[in-house]
Chains A and B, each alone.
Chain A
Amino acid sequence: MTKKVMLGNEAIARGAWEAGCNVAAGYPGTPSTEILETMARDYREVKSQWSPNEKVALEVAAGAAVAGARSLATMKHVGLNVAADPLFTFSYTGVNGGLVIINADDPGAWSSQNEQDNRHIARAAKLPMVDPASPAEAKEFTKLAFEISEQFDRPVLVRITTRIAHSQGPVDLGKREDVPLKPCTRNPRKFVMLPAHARLRHVFIEEQMIRLREYSCTSGLNRIEWKNKKRGIITNGVAYQYVKEVCPDDSILKIGMVWPLPDDMIREFASQVEDLYVVEELDPFIEEHVKALGYKVTGKDLVPLCGELTPEIVDLAINKKQVQKAVPDYTGDLPGRPPGLCKGCPHAFVFNVLKKLDYTVNGDIGCYTLGALPPYGTMHSQGCMGASIGMHLGFEKARGDEAARSTVAVIGDSTFIHSGITGLIDMVYNKGTGTVMIMDNRVTAMTGHQENPATGYTLMGEPTHELDLEMMVRACGVKRVVVIDPKNVDDLERVIKEEVAAREPSVIITRRKCILKK
């Protein structure tokens, strides 16, 4: 079999392609973005697309699955929050063609606003979740996830973390399976979730959960590696690799299917080892389950709850082994190197003006969040995709419309389309008088230059309708709309002052191509 070194995310695209996946949709978000980029680049027979947000992406993938195709949705952990509404009910409907959702968690918050542990979502939505420990497993588990999906009539979550998504390793290359479309018939009791249907489906998915719990023990996704039985460690994902490295003599229960957990296998393991440990990143998800099964186990008492794990963190926690430093500590001050806006970045012109005006700035998610850092230091708030406009309206509701005379919301083109539009509709509908700045740099920049509905191109590189942002905001009911090149800083300052002073909703579109865009 041919082997190739691949990024975890490339391996996932390969796995879906080999499984005969036909439709793939997602929204860019580190550390998940390269999955669909790889798909569009290397596996052209899969119809791949960027959707405006994760909710729509999951709906597209679910539609394709109901229509009989194997389909894939990809997103980062916080993206699954956006897609949670369809997720929880598609759990009830189940699938026709296999439906696999890739969820990329980010322990350490390398490129994220939080460190949420989405294993909880699998449990809450009653969905099977697999959790690979290497790029090779990422490919195999993705393939298997399609089988599980069709066998058990469940959408399946594949959970990866940054150190799986963005690590490389050898992957076995297989052939693409030829999976024909399944017949698609009208079946409202399964696919139309009226309350009467939903109640019945709930019973079905609870029954499936029992079968899946058995599968979790027998499928090989979870396995016991017996060594010395003095100490036994239950572990999952990349943490398994750290444990294998720093505890080479201990017995390991490797969890590859993290929901439902393999109860009988846990019992078998726990009852045969003297001291039982769980080593997992983020929350005590497995640990609490093991405790609920009635076993005494050591986990988060020793292993950090916050941040990502590393081999030496596990070594210290479990073996009490300190790092031996070859070089003494430097006693001077080392300046940090925080990320920053590029030289010539169009956002920098805007933030220089906002800094000068000393306005209250409600920010959003993108490169421009860096406007919060020196030398700009302009931002007061930033939470999630699209939040800037709703929060901007909330500021005005709380502090009165005089406060809106020195406040702006800043949001990027792609983020505005993702989930800013509804905020703007709210601002007009509920009589806000604030100013929204759409920083339109003609690309989804932060995640590495993806197309979006306003760029005029699809993920597959085809020309398409270019969403007219100006027409869009006018249709929301905004009458004061100015489009300006932010490089003209004097004009920009004048325009911002005028629009902020006006006692009616206004939008300033600062349009200038990202400096890195060719």
Chain B
Amino acid sequence: MKNVIFAGVGGQGVILASKVLMEVSMKNGFDVKESEVHGMAQRGGSVDCHIRFGKDVASPLIPKGGADYIICLELLEAMRKLDYLKPGATLIVNREQINPAPVEIGAMKYPEDIEDFMKKNFAGTIIVDTAEALKEAGTKKALNIVMLGCLSKFLDFKIEDWESAIKALVTEKFIEQNLKAFNLGRGLV
């Protein structure tokens, strides 16, 4: 069984990314389960999706210490997920800082040592710079799909399966942009 966590800030599109991964896993004959967050927590708060695929999946939640891949769309949010990493797992983090409310109002500081901490303490850490790719894709909204592209390099699924899942789940007029974003993401790792 493979366990993947997508994490980020409400509005970054982690649910769509997880839907694409589920679709691809199903297509490849796996049982799949996922758990996500809706409602008040979504209003700019921390959000995550747990996706599990394999022969027979019971729990929709990944236990702490059980994630094979954690894909994080924001630096600080990655720090909250470190307990979920399995030894030997891969942690892919977008180099972006989005200040939470306590930092915005000056009550707390955004930690400056996040990247160093992760690199120093977890060998499977990959920090990606998505700014160029997003510029080329033509929309910052495709960050979720760029990060999915990064993940796809580590999973044994065919490119065509990823692409047809994206086509099936993304609004029609944004399909081209997202396919491009996906392939740009693959180039980042």
Contact = CB atoms under 8 A, between A and B. Distances in A.
Given A31-B38, A241-B58, A315-B63, A367 B44 contact: no
B39 A242 contact: no
B101 A446 contact: no
Interface string A358-381: 000000000100100111000000
Interface of B: 9-10, 19, 22-23, 26, 31-46, 57-66, 76-77, 79-80, 82-83, 85-87, 89, 100-105, 107-111, 113, 117-118, 121-122
Interface stretch (A53-61, A337-345, A386-394, A400-408): A337-345
A323 B83 contact: yes
B81 to A, nearest CB: 10
B26 A170 contact: yes
B35 A337 contact: no
Contact of B60 (A241, A324, A338, A340): A241
B102 A335 contact: yes
A57 B147 CA distance: 42
Closest 5 CB pairs of A and B: A111-B39, A30-B39, A339-B43, A339-B45, A167-B60
A229 interface: no
Contact of B61 (A134, A163, A169, A326): A163
A409 to B, nearest CB: 21
B45 A167 contact: no
Contacts of B104: 375
B82 A341 contact: no
Interface of A: 3, 5, 30-31, 33-34, 110-111, 134, 163, 166-170, 238, 241-242, 244-246, 310-312, 315, 323-328, 330, 332-342, 367, 370, 373-375, 446-448
B157 to A, nearest CB: 15
A336 B100 contact: yes
A169 B45 contact: no
A163 B60 contact: yes
B65 A312 contact: yes
28 contacts: A3-B26, A30-B40, A31-B39, A110-B40, A111-B40, A111-B41, A166-B37, A167-B36, A168-B35, A168-B60, A169-B33, A245-B58, A311-B66, A312-B65, A325-B83, A335-B100, A335-B102, A335-B103, A335-B107, A335-B108, A337-B76, A337-B101, A339-B41, A339-B45, A341-B43, A342-B44, A374-B101, A374-B102
B26 A311 contact: no
B111 A333 contact: yes
B128 to A, nearest CB: 19
A283 to B, nearest CB: 21
A311 B101 contact: no
Given A163-B61, A310-B61, A339 B42 contact: yes
B36 A311 contact: no
Nearest to B18: A168
Nearest to B122: A327
Contacts of B19: 5, 168
A336 B62 CA distance: 22
Contacts of A3: 26
Contacts of A315: 63
Nearest to B61: A310
Given A5-B32, A31-B39, A374-B107, A330 B82 contact: yes
Contacts of A323: 63-65, 83
Nearest to B101: A340
B65 A340 contact: no
Nearest to A334: B79
Contact of A327 (B9, B41, B44, B82): B82
Contacts of A333: 108-109, 111
Contacts of A370: 40, 43
B159 to A, nearest CB: 21
B58 A310 contact: no
A279 to B, nearest CB: 12
A110 B58 contact: no
A40 to B, nearest CB: 17
B16 to A, nearest CB: 12
Contacts of A312: 63-65
Given A111-B39, A335-B107, A375-B104, 4 more contacts: A333-B109, A339-B40, A339-B41, A374-B107
Q: Which of B43, B62, B79 has the most CB of A within 10 A?
A: B43
A332 B116 CA distance: 13
Contacts of A163: 35, 60-61
Given A170-B26, A326-B87, A327-B121, A337 B100 contact: yes
Contacts of B118: 327
Contacts of B61: 163, 242, 310-311
Given A31-B38, A167-B33, A315-B63, A337 B23 contact: no
Contact of B111 (A241, A310, A332): A332
B62 to A, nearest CB: 8
Contacts of B62: 311
B33 A337 contact: no
Nearest to A242: B59
Contacts of A340: 43-45, 101
Given A327-B85, A337-B76, A375-B105, A110 B33 contact: no
A168 B44 contact: no
A6 to B, nearest CB: 10
A330 B117 contact: yes
Nearest to A345: B43
A339 B79 contact: no
B135 to A, nearest CB: 23
A375 B101 contact: yes
Nearest to B50: A167
A313 to B, nearest CB: 9
A447 B86 CA distance: 35
A338 B58 contact: no
B79 A330 contact: yes
A447 B39 contact: yes
A340 B107 CA distance: 15
Contacts of B87: 324, 326
Nearest to A337: B100
Contacts of A5: 19, 22-23, 26, 32, 34
A30 B38 contact: yes
Given A167-B36, A375-B105, A337 B60 contact: no
B73 to A, nearest CB: 13
Contacts of A166: 35-38
